[in-house]
Structure 1
Amino acid sequence: MPLRHELHSQLFTRPPVPTADFSGKTIIVTGSNVGLGKEAVQHFLRLKASKVIMAVRSVRKGEDAKIEITKNYKTAASALEVWPLDYSNYASCQDFAAKVATLGRVDAVVLNAGIATEEWELFEGHESQVTVNVISTTLLMLLILPTLYATAEKYPSVTPVLTVVGSGVHAYTKFPERENPKIFDSMDDKKISRMGDRYQVTKLMSLFAVREVAEKTASKRPFVIINTVNPGLCYTELNRSAVGGTAVAMGVMKAMMAWTAEEGGRTLVFASVAGQESHGVFISGSKIPNTGQSKFVTSAEGKRTQKKMWGELAEILERIQPGISAI
């Protein structure tokens, strides 16, 4: 069961320290001025990546993080770049992807940015977590894929990797919105929205999206690896907006079994070198088997839900970027 797996992993294991060589490689990490993303960036630099792009909502904060990182890694001054990217704005995602396309090579992309909140807010006409964790994440995934395929074609020995940072909490929701005629419409209706488990629901939806794209690209050549990584429970700012009972519960859980942000950052790097066997896989605890994935995901009902959700999401993405389905 996912819960048992999560508890055992958090209490009795630690992610291995990455040792892969990233010499000559270009890496992109979103949401990387703090937390797991920032730690992953430092691991990539330690492992000799030639270029690491920090994609951040606030360039000022990104530059502050770069200054701090440069103190630890002298190569960061020339290898590290800070690019603006705001998941709450579709145009920002499109502009970012267009800039990525100008790079001569991209070896790995870690889509790490995400939000968790119980406060109701609309971004681009959708509930904020739906926009950031599901729609914009999938939009970026599809818009960046052509650049990764171009890299694979230009460098036959390279198999680029696109990783979406997921969460084991996807298993802790019954996702009743799936029974409504339109999933996204029900999640955007403030009157009936269940904000208590909205983060869990959006992480499940994101996982469905990754699985769908991975299935559709499995036979495409040249090959690009697409996977999801569960970094586990870590000391980060993700739940900084939590209040009341949720804040207390998270505080207790973190005190009992949370990994450090540095340890969590290791899992993001692992996913970038996990190999072709990780395509479409939910990587948990730096291990390839889907032991941390909810059984619902691969059940008959889960597969039906995935197709239904993808149909709606594809329509939304087409309105944002006409022709994106062809990717």
Structure 2
Amino acid sequence: MAPASVTLPPGFLLSFLKSQLFTRPPPPTHDFSNQVILITGSNTGLGLEAARHFVRLNTAKVILGVRSIQKGEAAALDIEQTTGRKGVVQVWEVDFSSYKSVEVFCGRAAKEERLDVVIANAGVAIPRWEQVEGTERTVLVNVLATFLMVVLMVPILRKSGEKHGGVPPRLVVVSSEAHEQASFVEQDSPPGQIFTTLASNKPSLQPDRYNTSKLLEVLLVRALAPDIYSPSSTPHPEIILNTLTPGLCKSLLMRHAVFPLNIFAAIGKVILARSTEVGSRTLVAAAAAGNETHGKYMADCRVREPSRWVRSEKGKVTQQRVWEEVREILEGVREGCTKCLD
């Protein structure tokens, strides 16, 4: 397998610069009255600012899914002080480095009387190989544990939608334009071995792990969308599943970056990056978006095509392979968890 390298597909740089320099996502104005919103990775950065918008936009409850209760409570207090609304934000603990923690978290969500929107925003970019739950940590947190939460939330959202009606539940997965830069050499692994290769300790492939994890998120959203909601199916309400890029933002995501990436990232953020508040507007837009975004990738608050590779025949075949492997892994974590998609 060839070493990973940074890939800039044709047209990527121009599109990226146009988005970062000349496109400003509009401030959200959608009314979320009576809705309950759950956001992971929300004690800082994009998740925090999105939560602040949701509180300002009249949500009944915003649940912050965080690793540190202490940091989450500090974030909740900050939101209360800046919005003037108290008693709206709750802080729940969840660690996406642990399947068990995700299961407990979703079990708690199942006890809620109502749940309208789930935003999977928790993510990491780890420069060195770390093994957790038998796999590489970036892939675990950004992909496997995230989609364990997604499939566990499907029946919860369906139940809530059936009970309350009128407002289609949403599942939003925060991805990145970095998916277009993924080398993803693991796609050429033998049948059933993509995630085995992703779990291996290969320093030459580690720099591509984050980009690949974001690509896998896009593939999985596209794979799951037909099963989560089909316009011709009736017993279940709509569940709108979409994914998005917030663009390059001034967040803490690259805090673990090592030389020389840390230098390039710092310079790039000074010149090009959006504030976390501006970037967070894209999360809110995805949570308010309609059927036209189901199974789609969004950028600058609009539907945009993902990379050419995703849409290629190789991409379509690999997408199915990825979902079959992820489904097997998740069933090994919790038997029957993906049957809601049958």
TM-score range, shorter chain: over 0.9
In the TM superposition, residue 193 of structure 1 has moved relative to its aligned partner by 5.5
1:188-214 Cα offsets, whole Å, 9 max, x none, are 111466111110011101111111111
1:27-72 Cα offsets, whole Å, 9 max, x none, are 0010000000000000001101110000000111101111222211
Are 2:129 and 2:203, in contact at CA under 8 Å, matched by a contact in 1? no
Structure 2 CA distance for aligned equivalents of residues 86 and 193 of structure 1: 28
Q: Which has the larger displacement, 132-141 or 154-163? A: 154-163
Structure 1 CA distance for aligned equivalents of residues 197 and 141 of structure 2: 17
**Does residue 1:277 correspond to 2:288, yes or no?**
no
**Does residue 1:267 correspond to 2:282, yes or no?**
yes
Are 1:93 and 1:139, in contact at CA under 8 Å, matched by a contact in 2? yes
- Structure 2, unpaired ranges of 5+: 1-10
Structure 1 CA distance for aligned equivalents of residues 324 and 158 of structure 2: 24
AA in 1 matched with 2:327: A
Other structure's SS at 2:58 match: coil
In the TM superposition, residue 300 of structure 1 has moved relative to its aligned partner by 0.2
AA in 2 matched with 1:285: D
Which residue of structure 1 aligns with residue 95 of structure 2? 86
Other structure's SS at 1:324 match: coil
Given the alignment, which residue of 241, 244, 250 partners 2:256? 241
Structure 2 CA distance for aligned equivalents of residues 17 and 176 of structure 1: 39
Structure 2 CA distance for aligned equivalents of residues 264 and 141 of structure 1: 22
**Does residue 1:194 correspond to 2:205, yes or no?**
yes
Which residue of structure 2 aligns with residue 204 of structure 1? 215
AA in 1 matched with 2:297: F
**Does residue 1:14 correspond to 2:20, yes or no?**
no
Which residue of structure 1 aligns with residue 270 of structure 2? 255
Q: How does 1:302-313 map to 2 (within 5 A)?
A: 302-313=315-326
Question: How many percent of aligned residue pairs carry the same amino acid?
Answer: 41
Are 2:130 and 2:136, in contact at CA under 8 Å, matched by a contact in 1? yes
Structure 1 CA distance for aligned equivalents of residues 194 and 203 of structure 2: 12
Other structure's SS at 2:95 match: coil
Given the alignment, which residue of 153, 164, 179 partners 2:162? 153
Are 1:151 and 1:158, in contact at CA under 8 Å, matched by a contact in 2? no
Structure 2 CA distance for aligned equivalents of residues 210 and 199 of structure 1: 17
Structure 1 CA distance for aligned equivalents of residues 51 and 204 of structure 2: 36
Structure 2 CA distance for aligned equivalents of residues 261 and 64 of structure 1: 17
Greater than 4 Å deviation, 4+ residue runs: none
**Does residue 1:72 correspond to 2:82, yes or no?**
yes
Which residue of structure 1 aligns with residue 181 of structure 2? 172
Are 2:173 and 2:242, in contact at CA under 8 Å, matched by a contact in 1? yes
The RMSD of aligned alpha carbons is 1.1
Other structure's SS at 1:22 match: coil
AA in 2 matched with 1:216: D
AA in 1 matched with 2:27: V
Which residue of structure 1 aligns with residue 195 of structure 2? 184
Given the alignment, which residue of 193, 201, 214 partners 2:225? 214
In the TM superposition, residue 3 of structure 1 has moved relative to its aligned partner by 3.3
Structure 1 CA distance for aligned equivalents of residues 217 and 170 of structure 2: 17
- Structure 1, unpaired ranges of 5+: none
AA in 2 matched with 1:306: Q
Number of residue-to-residue matches in the alignment: 324
In the TM superposition, residue 310 of structure 1 has moved relative to its aligned partner by 1.1
TM-score scaled to structure 2, two decimals? 0.93
